[in-house]
């Protein structure tokens, strides 16, 4: 069976991607199973540049088909920050709680009616020779909560309210998130890209 490497060591992200890719005719692995592979520096100016750099770099080193996801939270009142800097938003090595608290500080005094945001996910696919096979993306609109709510998910999930449900990704049942999230929407397109490639 062919292997597909997910170029990430983020446990929450890897778990989510693996669940959403279940049933594919691939052995899906991640960088968690390849501790000797290097960390790829995300120095691109866009999600697409970062995702392609990670996928192509890991594919060239391993000789295996590789996918990479670059995602971020874009808050309208902050000119779409933190965006591509979401993972390093509070500084290198800071916790998810640190990032969430920094976002709350930046939005202090901003009413719920002006806290519109969206999650964006861009996924790149590279073949085992490091050639680009395609890039897809998905988004999900929401509102930044006034305080953290719920314990599901990871990252900014406990403060990302989905208006349709009036619950955060931290509160929503994972089966609903698996249908409507930015990553779920991108992965629907990714599956189609993989099928075309095969």
Confidence at residue 176, expressed as pLDDT on a 0 to 100 scale: 95
For the chain, which residues make up each domain, given as ranges? 3-197
Confidence at residue 9, expressed as pLDDT on a 0 to 100 scale: 94
d(CA 186, CA 182): 6
d(CA 143, CA 127): 37
Confidence at residue 24, expressed as pLDDT on a 0 to 100 scale: 86
Q: Give me the residues of the chain with pLDDT under 50, please.
A: none
Backbone angles phi, psi at 163, to 5 degrees: -55, -40
Token pair in block for residue 82 = 């933190």
Does 157 qualify as catalytic in the annotation?
no
Architecture of the domain spanning 3-197? Alpha-Beta Complex (3.90)
Q: Is 169 exposed, middle or buried (0-12, 13-18, 19+ CB in 10 A)?
A: buried
Confidence at residue 168, expressed as pLDDT on a 0 to 100 scale: 98
pLDDT in tens, 145-180: 999 999 998 999 999 999 999 999 999 999 999 999
Catalytic residue of the set 70, 98, 127, 173:
70
d(CA 114, CA 76): 8
pTM, rounded to two decimals? 0.94
Neighbours of 23 (CB within 10 A): 7
Say which residue the tokens 């920050």 belong to: 81
pLDDT in tens, 14-26: 999 999 888 888 8
d(CA 45, CA 52): 12
């Amino acid at each position: 069976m062919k292997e597909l490497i997910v170029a990430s060591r983020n446990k929450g992200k890897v778990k989510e991607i693996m669940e959403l890719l279940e049933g594919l005719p691939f052995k899906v692995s991640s960088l968690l199973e390849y501790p000797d592979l290097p960390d790829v520096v995300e120095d691109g100016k866009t999600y697409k540049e970062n995702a392609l750099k990670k996928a192509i770099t890991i594919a060239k080193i391993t000789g295996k088909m590789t996918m990479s996801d670059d995602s971020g939270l874009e808050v309208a009142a902050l000119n779409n920050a933190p965006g591509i800097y979401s993972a390093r938003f509070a500084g290198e090595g800071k916790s998810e709680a640190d990032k969430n608290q920094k976002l709350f500080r930046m939005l202090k005094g901003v009413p719920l009616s002006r806290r519109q945001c969206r999650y964006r996910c861009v996924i790149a696919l590279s073949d085992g020779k490091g050639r680009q096979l395609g890039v897809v993306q998905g988004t999900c609109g929401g509102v930044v909560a006034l305080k953290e709510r719920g314990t599901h998910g990871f990252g900014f999930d406990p403060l990302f309210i989905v208006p349709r449900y009036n619950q955060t990704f931290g509160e929503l049942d994972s089966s609903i998130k698996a249908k409507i999230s930015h990553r779920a929407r991108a992965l629907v397109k990714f599956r189609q890209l993989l099928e075309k490639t095969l």
